[in-house]
């Protein structure tokens, strides 16, 4: 029996996934994303958050962060705290996983409001987190 026939319980999900990927040329972007790691390594100096933070922390506040449940980003957040915490980087984590901004929009909004309200009262670098560093 065909995997896309109505008898297969996953057929609807497969059709929905294919339809979503096919919209707005998504299949092209999915294929192009295969080179992400190579591109990221080639642009490593430019994308170095530590260097950016050290250069600009006295000029404007930072809003960065993550989630302990994120299987991809939590290590980056821990390293940023270890390396930049002594320079004033504060990291707070939202509950949820890799898509925590979608999973916890009210918590994200609360962090942003808290961050914004604190801008007039803070001196030095400020950061509140919501995603991987």
Band of pLDDT at residue 1, cut at 50, 70 and 90:
very low
pLDDT digits (tens, 9 = 90+) for 82-133: 999 899 887 888 888 888 888 888 988 999 899 888 887 655 554 444 444 4
- Answer whether 84's CB lies under 8 Å from 53's CB: yes
Question: 3-state class of 62 per DSSP?
Answer: coil
Average of pLDDT values for 63-83? 83
pLDDT score at 121: 60
Query: Average pLDDT, stretch 13-33?
Result: 79
Question: In this structure, are residues 36 and 65 in contact, taking their beta carbons and an 8 Å threshold?
Answer: no
Whole-model pTM: value is 0.55
Tens-digit pLDDT profile for residues 39-60 = 878 877 777 889 999 999 989 8
Instruction: Answer yes or no: is pLDDT of 66 > 50.
Output: yes
Contact (Cβ atoms closer than 8 angstroms) between residue 65 and residue 93: yes
Listed by start position, the domains of the chain span: 11-42, 49-121
Q: How far is CA 16 from CA 11, 20, 49, 76, 96, in A?
A: 9, 6, 37, 33, 25
């Amino acid at each position: 029996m065909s995997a896309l026939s109505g008898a297969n319980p996953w057929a609807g999900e497969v059709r929905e996934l294919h339809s979503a990927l096919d919209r707005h040329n998504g299949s092209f972007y999915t294929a192009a994303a295969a080179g992400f790691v190579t591109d990221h390594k080639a642009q490593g100096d430019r994308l170095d958050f530590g260097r950016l933070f050290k250069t600009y922390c006295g000029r404007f506040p930072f809003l960065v962060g993550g989630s302990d449940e994120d299987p991809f980003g939590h290590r980056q957040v821990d390293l940023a705290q270890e390396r930049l915490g002594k320079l004033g980087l504060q990291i707070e984590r939202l509950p949820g996983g890799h898509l925590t901004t979608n999973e916890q929009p009210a918590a994200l909004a609360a962090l942003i409001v808290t961050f914004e309200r604190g801008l007039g009262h803070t001196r030095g670098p400020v950061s509140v987190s919501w995603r991987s560093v």
